[in-house]
Amino acid sequence: MSDYEVVKFSEAYDFAHYAWSLFFDTNDGSSLRHDVLSQRHFVSKAIDSRRQRPHRDTLLHLFLRQLYRMSYIYAFEQHRNDMLDLVVQEYEAILKFNDVRFRVFELPPEMSIDYEEVVLRRVAYLRRKLPVGRIAQDTFQLLFRDRLFLLAFNRAFAHQFLAAP
C-alpha cells in the first residue's frame, strides 16, 4: 500500500561507525586517513566503472558494499573458521532480521563425517543471501548526513585519483 521502504538501521549503525573510523582517528575525530582507499584498491575500479555513464549508486555505495564484504563477511568467517555453526547462526539471524527468506535445514551432528562439508555449503548459501546492498544503503543514509565524513571520503578519493599514475 505504501511506496516507502522499511529501513532497519540496527546493523547499519555499527557498520557506519566502522566506516567512519577508517577516515578519522577515533580518539579525536580529526585526523584523516587517506591511505584507506589505496590499501583496498577501491579507487581505480570504482572510478573506471563510473566514467562511461552516471549510476544511481555512488562511489560511497560501492565503497560500503566492498568494505562490508571484506571487513565483515570475510573477516568474520576467517575469525570463526573453527566454529562454523556460529557463522551459520549469525548469518541466519541477519537474514531473519532483514526479512530475507532462506531455506532452513538441520545441520548434521558435529562428529559426522560430512559435517564440515555440509556446514561450508550452508555458509556459502547464506552468504549469497546476505542483504549487503540493503545494509550498504542504510549505512549510506546514515553517513550521508555527516558532512565531515563526506568531506574526508571525497578528499581521500580525490587524493588517490590524482596520485594515481
Report pLDDT for 163.
62
Per-state percent for the chain, helix, strand, coil, to nearest 5: 65, 0, 35
What integer pLDDT is reported at residue 73 of this predicted model? 84
Q: Phi and psi of 147, rounded to 5°?
A: -65, -35
pLDDT score of 1:
45
DSSP structural state of residue 106: P
Query: 43 — phi, psi (to 5°)?
Result: -65, -60
pTM, full prediction: 0.75
Q: How many residues does the chain have?
A: 165
pLDDT at 129: 92
pLDDT in tens, 77-92: 887 767 888 888 888 8
b/e map 116-137, b = 16+ CB within 10 Å: eebbeebbeebeebbbbebbbb
What ranges do the domains of the chain cover?
33-163
Phi/psi of residue 39, nearest 5 degrees: -65, -30
Residues of the chain with pLDDT under 70: 1-9, 25-53, 81, 160-165
